[in-house]
Amino acid sequence: MPSGIADAWRRQAVIDIGSNSVRLVVFEGLVRAPLPIFNERVLCGIGRDLADTGALHEGGVDLALSTIERFVAISREIGAGFPEAVATAAVREAANGREFVARVRETCGLEVRVLSGVDEARLSALGAMSAIPDADGVMGDLGGGSLELVVLNSGEIGDSVTLPLGALRLMGLTPEERIAVIDQALDEVAWLNKLKKRNFYGVGGAWRSLARIHMAQREYPLRIVHQYQITRGEANTLAGVISGLSLDSLARIEGVNRRRLESLPGAAAVLSRTLRRLRPGRVMFLAGGLREGLLQQYLSEEVRGEDPLISQCRAFAVRASRFGDTGDELADWMAPLFDEESPEDGRLRLAACLLSDVAWRAHPSYRAARAFEEVFQAPVVGIDHAGRAFVALAIHARYNGTGDAPVTEPARTLVEQAIVEQAKLVGVSLRLGLTLSGGAPGVLARTRLERSAGEVTLHMRRKDSHLNSELVERRLASVARCLDLAPRCRIRGR
């Protein structure tokens, strides 16, 4: 992996050898919030017998070796070169861990870096903050072999610990035995009791499976685990139910990966006992973790300081819009209509401006629906589900979508009506701006919007009056209606 950003958009590959799974992720580049262009996981279970034998599972090792060999070949074929490979708790602790690393080197020509518990916790925290830069609370990353707990102080890494509480280690224990083992480990972490009422960020495949179960149970309108939030009470109820179910009962739950069944009760018990100590204000599940953290450590401070959502939306605009990145121009032009918005509202409005040309290639009859779905389901980070709803509704309105369109119902259930109306205002303002300018950069800067006590006024110079039209005036009227004001176009000067 490079130490700088000389070639930021060169594809970067990571192989993560965990206690339960081996995963290859190929990222689009070494940028602030890279999208994965390839992501495959194989549940090898190399740490399945570690607690009993002290060694890696023989069958799991054979499957892991063949999987890694395939992953190395795929990485090269898709232009990512030789991947960076890391191993975590199982390889770190197993008596035959070094032997496994040597076999990977001999079989695949790949050097595997075995992470210490401290490094694993730090990288997982960096991965969490790659999605939420100002994360504040405790991050828990549950793998097959260990649990990493890290204090996050508004984006700064604080105390951390690695505990032998991986989901695979707890398999085969009775519920009572699991609780005793978990509590004994957590009792050693004195600082946990000082962090009550702060957020808890859950990372790891087993906990994401719990989130999916909860989504299915409540018929949640969005199937994206990243930044899915529930209350502590909801999390405790879910964990309590799952930790006490038999494998047969778990197998009947829709959407549960069959190869994760045995580890889910342990994962649920760890979540329940951890929350019992922390008593967090909210529980949020994250998709990013160690792999994203590996990339974050190579970024400059300047790049790492970028807003991940805006960085991703800006990159999309450059690649996919007709005229590149004109989002800032649109956002600045319409800003007089939003003089009372919060910084977060302004951030979401800028995201909508950057994504405003998302569906220009679609047939006009389907642009509104296509744009909504693409934005609502986009694989972006740095935005919660309510924020997704706002931006998607704004883009739907930008393409002249109606407020009661069935396609937008999932988003409308996630936000209050006032937010729906604000999103519509952003959307019709985008529609006005893009009609007035044709989407070309530099045109809007020659005009000006003004919001006064009774009017919304579009100002333009006389020499630009040809930009005005009956269609422009109709769209100015749509903006004014959203604000219960009168529309006016003023042409002045030369």
For the entire predicted model, the pTM comes to 0.91
The dihedral through the CA atoms of 412, 418, 419, 424 has a sign that is positive
Count CB atoms within 10 A of the CB of residue 224: 18
Alpha-carbon distance of 263 to 125, in angstroms, equals 23
Domain ranges within the chain, ordered by starting residue: 12-114, 117-292, 307-492
Count CB atoms within 10 A of the CB of residue 369: 18
DSSP of 164-205:
S--TTTTTT--HHHHHHHHHHHHHT-GGGGG-TTSEEEEESH
Alpha-carbon distance of 465 to 491, in angstroms, equals 7
Positions of the chain with pLDDT lower than 50, given as ranges: 1-6
DSSP classification of residue 46: T
Closest CA to 56 of 92, 83, 10, 24: 92
Count CB atoms within 10 A of the CB of residue 23: 20
CATH 3.40.1110.10 fits 117-292, yes or no: no
Give how far Cα 479 sits from Cα of 336, 410, 439, 456, Å: 12, 25, 18, 8
Q: Which helix (H) or strand (E) holds 405?
A: none
Query: What per-residue confidence (pLDDT) applies to 6?
Result: 45
Give how far Cα 319 sits from Cα of 314, 315, 364, 439, Å: 9, 6, 21, 15
Domain pair 117-292 / 307-492, same fold: no
Closest CA to 308 of 134, 137, 157, 123: 134
What is the dihedral angle through the alpha carbons of 173, 175, 181, 183, rounded to the nearest 10 degrees? 170
Q: For 12-114, which CATH superfamily applies?
A: ATPase, nucleotide binding domain (3.30.420.40)
Token pair 């957020």 in the structure block, residue: 199
In the three-class reduction of DSSP (H, G, I as helix; E, B as strand; rest coil), residue 233 is classed as: helix
Query: What per-residue confidence (pLDDT) applies to 255?
Result: 63
Query: What per-residue confidence (pLDDT) applies to 243?
Result: 82
Query: What per-residue confidence (pLDDT) applies to 252?
Result: 77
Token pair 């740490």 in the structure block, residue: 47
Q: Which CATH architecture has domain 307-492?
A: Orthogonal Bundle (1.10)
| Beta strand spans in 66-114 (E) | 84-87, 112-114
Query: What per-residue confidence (pLDDT) applies to 172?
Result: 82
Angle subtended by helix axes 343-354 and 417-437, to nearest 10: 40
